[in-house]
Each structure stands twice: as C-alpha cells, then as structure tokens.
Amino acid sequence: MRYSWKVARISGIDIKIDSSWVVIFLLFTFSLSAYYFPQSFQASQRLHYWLLGIITSLLVFVSVLFHELAHSLMAIRQGEKVEDITLFILGGVARISDEPGTPQKEFVMALSGPVSSFFLAFIFIMISYLVAPFSKPFQVAAAYLGYINAILGGFNLLPGFPMDGGRVLRAIVWKATGDLKKATRAASMVGQGIAFFLIFAGVFQFFRGNLGGLWLALIGWFLHNASIQGYSQVLLKMSLQGLRASDLMSRNFQYVEADLPVESLVHDYVLRQRQRVFLVREGERLAGIVCLDDIKKYPRERWPELKVRDIMTPAEKLIYVTPYTSGDQVLERLATADVNQVPVIENGQVVGLICRNNLLQVMQLRAELGI
C-alpha cells in the first residue's frame, strides 16, 4: 500500500512525499555514490562519495519541486487553486483543482515548469565553472545537477499530453479550434504515440543488454496511462456540465444509530439491504457517515465489540456539497478528498447523498441518449 507524508508547506501549498519516492531516492544515491562520483574524481574516503551522493540526490528532487512550484505559483497567480505537490518515483505532480479556463492560461502555466528547469540548469552549470578551480567534487555535482535539470526541462517539452509540451500543444489546438475536447484528444493521441515509442525503445535497449531500457519503458508506460486518464477526465467533466448536485443525488439514503454494533450494521443493513454507505445520527443530529471501506479496516472478530461511532467518519471531517453545487465541482470534491460519496446538505439538513455510482449512472444515460 502506498502512503504519502506532508513534509512542508510553501506559499499555502502542501508538499508531500509519496512512499514510492524513497525507492528512486535510494537508486539515485546508490548510482551516484557507487559509480558516478568514484569514476569522476578521487576521494580520500568512500564516505565522501556517499555524503555527496545523498546531498546531490536531495538537490535533484529539490529541482523537481522547483519545477512543480513554478507551475503551481503561476496557476495561483492566474486564479486557480493548488491543492498540493507530491514527489513520487517518476518525479512530481502538482494537483491543481481545475483545468485552466482559457488556452492562454494553459500555455503560460505549461511553459513555466520547463523554463524554471532550464533556469536551474543554467545556474548549476555556472556554479560548476566557478567552483572548478577550487573543488572537483562540487564541480562534478553541480555539472550533474545542471545536466539533470536540462533533461527535465527538455523531456517535459515533448508534445505529449499530459506533459508540459503536450499541454502547450493542447493550448495551441484549443486556441485554433475553440474546442477543448478536440484539443485534449489531439494532445492525448500524440502523448500515446510518444509513450509507445519510449516503451519499444526501452524494450529494445533492454534486450541489447542495457538495463536502463527498463526505466525508459516504465516512463513510457506511465505516460501512456496518464495520456488516457487525462483525456478521460476532460470527457468526464464535460459530461457533467449543466448538472447540479440536486440532479445527481439520491434521496434513497438511510440513517443508522451511532451506538449500533458493527456486526449488526453488517448483517442487518449492508447484507440485507445491499447498501454500501449509511448516514450516522446521534439523537437528531448528523454524527457522521459509515461505508463498506470503514468496515473492512477492522477484522471480523472485532465487529461485535465495535460501535458504528468507532469506525465512522465524523461529521466535522465530512466533505459535503449543497444542492446547487455544479456537477464538475462534485466530481472534483470526490477526487480531491479521495472519497466515494458526499452528502448533500441544505440549511443544515441532509437532503441527498451522491456516490460515484450516481455519477456513472447519469453519465451512462446521457451518453446513451446522445446528450
């Protein structure tokens, strides 16, 4: 199971590290300390290679963070909301709450990342020249960081969605056609083409004895999935245009009491009524919400001793919407909070419940009717 940890907050943006980041950090450190630095200069002790390797690896990911911060700060400047930035095994990603409203915003936001990486590349290369007469180790590390940032900027400019170059391409097509859907599809197709090229090139290199080909194939596979998901997300949001939470919600929801044993919840409600989510009340007030995932967190032998209040998401932590919340905002709330359902509340009262299945059913019906 993957986890992420919040490590900092910059300009109101949470900085997180995904558990997969540890893997690539260790690989970078090992590669630099055991091979790259020993082949580049002589050190009196091998410990010096490892210390410099750790520092350089950290600076590599500071560079990735700088790249994502450039995107995020430009998005904020243009009125967008940035949820967080997460560093993971293949780099980093800034979670921006919504798509840019215009091609011009998309173009500027997309270019800000590569420009920041090229700026860092220039700075590190200049540092490598300045420290060369005084310290070979620092000169080699700075040159390496300059090279990495140049690669990062150049790779992200490949015209395949959802990379920065793909977003630039989408902005250009969007501006020319006025159709975001068509522009996203074009950029996504180019992205998938680049992904297949990287996969085949990586496999070819691997069978020629270059183990680095596996890494290239992995990047291609990631880009292929991201291209498809990026296009699907745009279609998803467009299919919900014109709808409000009141159009999507189900009024067929049920309350359970907070002091109900979990075993009774399973047998008398979940299995008998074939429902996966229930609102929880204490007296006349909403106490929280409980769903199948909450139950599955605990072993069956504990069900008799646990009460619903012990496993529910309490009301103060609930993500909710109003009947007038737009359909794409409902989707955004579900995705941002990584939950499967949100209650619809009006004047302090629950009037409906929206589950992911409700969205899928509405979209399927609209698609079948050609809406």
Give one DSSP letter per residue of 113-146, joined into a string: HHHHHHHHHHHHHHHHHHHTTT-HHHHHHHHHHH
Q: Which of 317, 301, 254 is nearest to 280 (CA)?
A: 254
Say yes or no: 10 and 103 in one domain.
Answer: yes
Q: Which of 58-72, 197-211, 266-280 has the highest mean pLDDT?
A: 58-72
Mean pLDDT of 271-290: 86
The answer, yes or no, to whether residue 1 has pLDDT greater than 60, is no
The answer, yes or no, to whether residue 2 has pLDDT greater than 60, is no
Q: Which residue type, as a one-letter code, is found at position 58?
A: L
The answer, yes or no, to whether residue 286 has pLDDT greater than 60, is yes
Note the maximum CA span of the chain. Answer: 78
Say yes or no: 265 and 204 in one domain.
Answer: no
Say yes or no: 317 and 345 in one domain.
Answer: yes
SS3 370: coil
The residue that leads in pLDDT, 310 or 367, is: 310
| C-alpha span between 81 and 359 (Å, rounded) | 24
Domain boundary among 176, 211, 239: 239
User: Within its chain, how far is the Cα of 357 from the centroid?
Assistant: 22
- Assigned token pair, 292: 């199948």
Say yes or no: 235 and 256 in one domain.
Answer: no
Q: Measured between alpha carbons, how far is residue 4 from residues 14, 38, 63, 222 in Å? A: 11, 33, 19, 19
Say yes or no: 203 and 61 in one domain.
Answer: yes
Say yes or no: 221 and 255 in one domain.
Answer: no
Say yes or no: 205 and 85 in one domain.
Answer: yes
Q: Which of 17-21, 41-45, 142-146, 176-180 has the highest mean pLDDT?
A: 142-146
| C-alpha span between 315 and 312 (Å, rounded) | 9
Domain boundary among 211, 239, 267: 239
Residue 307, phi then psi, degrees to nearest 5: -105, 160
Domain boundary among 239, 263, 288: 239
Amino acid 214: pLDDT = 83
Say yes or no: 51 and 154 in one domain.
Answer: yes
Say yes or no: 234 and 340 in one domain.
Answer: no
For residue 93, the surrounding DSSP H or E stretch is strand 91-96
Q: Which residue type, as a one-letter code, is found at position 167?
A: R
- Domains of the chain: total: 2
- Give the domain CATH number at 305: 3.10.580.10
Range of the domain at 278: 245-368
222-260 residue pLDDT tens:
888 888 877 777 777 777 777 888 888 888 888 899 899
The total of other beta-carbon atoms located within 10 Å of residue 38's CB is 14
The per-residue pLDDT of the chain, averaged, comes to 87
Mean pLDDT of 266-285: 87
The answer, yes or no, to whether residue 151 has pLDDT greater than 80, is yes
Amino acid 9: pLDDT = 87
Amino acid 97: pLDDT = 67
